[in-house]
Amino acid sequence: MSLLNTAITGILAAQRGLSTVSHNIANVNTAGFSRQIVRLETREPLAQGSGFIGTGVQVSNIIRIHDQFLNLQVRSSISAESEASQFLALASRIDNMLSDNTTGLGPALQNFFNAVHEVADLPSSITSRQVMLSEAQSLVTRFQFLDKRMEDITTEIRFKLGADLKEINSLAQSIALINSKITVAIGQATGAMPNDLLDQRDKLIEELSKFVTVSTAEQSDGALNVFIGNGLPLVLGANSSTMSVTETYDNHFDIALVDSFNSSIITGSITGGELSGILSFQAQMLEPARNSLGRLAIGLADSFNAQHILGQNLDGEINLTFFNVGTADVIPIGTALDNVTATITDPPTLSNSDYSLVYTGADNYILTRLSDRQTTSINTGGVYPFTTAQIDGFTINIAAVAGAVGDQYIIRPTVNGAKDITTTISEPRKIAIAGALRSSVATDAAGVPSNIGNAAITSAENASLTGLPLVANITLTFDSALNQFNISSGGTLAYNPATDSGGKQFSIATAGNATFTISGTPASGDQFIIENNSNADGDNRNANKLAALQASSILLNGTASYQDSYGQIIAEVGTATRQTEISKEALGTLLEQATEIRDSRSGVNLEEEAGNMLKFQQAFQASAQLVVVANTIFQSLINAFR
């Protein structure tokens, strides 16, 4: 190898180095670009009698500086931060809506019961009754408003999922296309790596990690297989699958993965990224919050109705409900027969979960509470229609055996509660403020009390509607010889003035389970009358009981009042939102740190590149000078032989 050729190898190496430095500097602001360096090695020397003579330098490879572990850390941090950000963005809207004094339910509940208390104070006031009806309408409107807003957010989730999946599918196609380009390029370059294509692929995978957790596996030909979530194949070599959103049942969305062979629901396998954030919000906050709101509406309507029907309105009517109560929703999935219904039987024991009922064959069903996966086995014994025992406050009626093993039904006991609650009374006179019964002492023809003794009776308070309204008055006549009251409708009540004069409580099952207390010492033949409470416009006994419901622990298995129940919804939503906010801040910091560490290794440093440029420039100039020297020597030799 001549001096000239050796010098030329130096020029070419320096030129390649300068080109690489120039490429780095040009892409200093290119997202995802990894700086490249020229790897040089000496050429094979020539053997001479006196030893080996060097033949110059050559470029063995141009490599990109990247660390797969650091890239993995960045992708993982992006997925985690994106998941928290998406969950927080949606959760904050629910939190603000429920806790706000303008949009929340709390003020409407308080205003309604303030109006009930006002009616209890002024039972004959039509104006007070009208205010109560107006506040009741405001309350149900607030329930419906909150439910509608949650339903609107559900619709937004559908569009958001669709937009994200469209982006994911585009990224998957781009990765598959670059895989094919990389495979071809490696083959053409006999194994040399196409650095810029590799950077582009890594950038696409990093963008993909914003939407879902990503893992990769490299093939022998240089292509990269991409897996999402819990190992689901999205890209295999030059082939990519597609993802789509499907409404499995009303307002519940799942993710499907479609490949060359089939389509399958993969919602449970999605982890990390915006997709997981949206799906987690749907399953962990939106649906439970909507169900909890519905449970509150059902519990309020049911318990208020239970007391209201026991009272009497200004027209002497009883057994009138005040609210309409929402019903359980049962949805057959796929080809399942529409032969299952559910009935709410005990609102205080309802959960805020949805349920899945699956037929397993031989008249056996499995009911799964979706919130915690707790299961209940159901066997109809081949008897149809079949009604189950009470489960979490509701029963299931199976009209006929399922069509096939695997038939599934989604049961949502409380989802319609807030949407369907309405007032059933529109006239102030129809509000049942008075008690249905009243008690009195016997009177003579002139209306003067005729009892001789000093016994007294309290107002009769009915606990049911059995036997009401009374067909005839019930007369209690005291028999001093037997120490008992004889009941005109049949039966006796034992009463001994010597021991019971301080007061003894009685109940008559056939008169609405009416309870009352008799005290004092009656004379033989003294009578008390229990009768329908006619013309009772000043009676507020039932109104007092309705007002007392506000502070009663009625809901959540008898542990919470209406306000407590709503406060629990706010607390659960607020706690989850705050925890996610804290998590997002921490994950954002980790992402910044991981990105900074990755960029410090793989990013372009202009000062470093300036040094490299000067180094290669000097090497180029030195090698060029050697060419001049070689040319001078060559010319001298030629001139010597002229």
Counting as low any pLDDT under 50, the low residues of the chain are none
Angle (deg, nearest 10), helices 106-121 and 562-602: 170
Q: Calculate the alpha carbon distances from 301 to 72, 148, 540, 545 in Å.
A: 54, 19, 20, 15
> 0.85 exceeded by the pTM?
yes
Helix (H, G, I), strand (E, B) or coil at 101: coil
- What is the token pair recorded at 38? 């020229």
Burial readout 576-594 (b: 16 or more C-beta within 10 A, e: otherwise): bbeebbebbeebeebbeeb
Helix (H, G, I), strand (E, B) or coil at 239: strand
Question: Which of the 8 DSSP states describes residue 267?
Answer: G
Q: Which of 265, 254, 212, 268 is nearest to 235 (CA)?
A: 212
Q: Calculate the alpha carbon distances from 502 to 442, 492, 495, 527, 607 in Å.
A: 21, 20, 11, 18, 101
pLDDT of residue 273: 96
Residues in the chain: 642
pLDDT of residue 235: 95
pLDDT of residue 629: 83
Q: Which of 148, 433, 153, 459 is nearest to 318 (CA)?
A: 433
Q: Which of 185, 174, 166 is nearest to 226 (CA)?
A: 174
- What is the token pair recorded at 145? 């408003």
H helices of 226-327, where? 273-281, 287-308
pLDDT of residue 642: 65
Separation CA 527–CA 233 (nearest Å): 87
Separation CA 417–CA 394 (nearest Å): 14
pLDDT of residue 396: 97
Q: Within its chain, how far is the Cα of 418 from the centroid? A: 17
pLDDT of residue 168: 96
pLDDT of residue 438: 95
- Domains of the chain, residue spans: 3-65+606-640, 70-286+559-595, 437-532
pLDDT of residue 293: 97
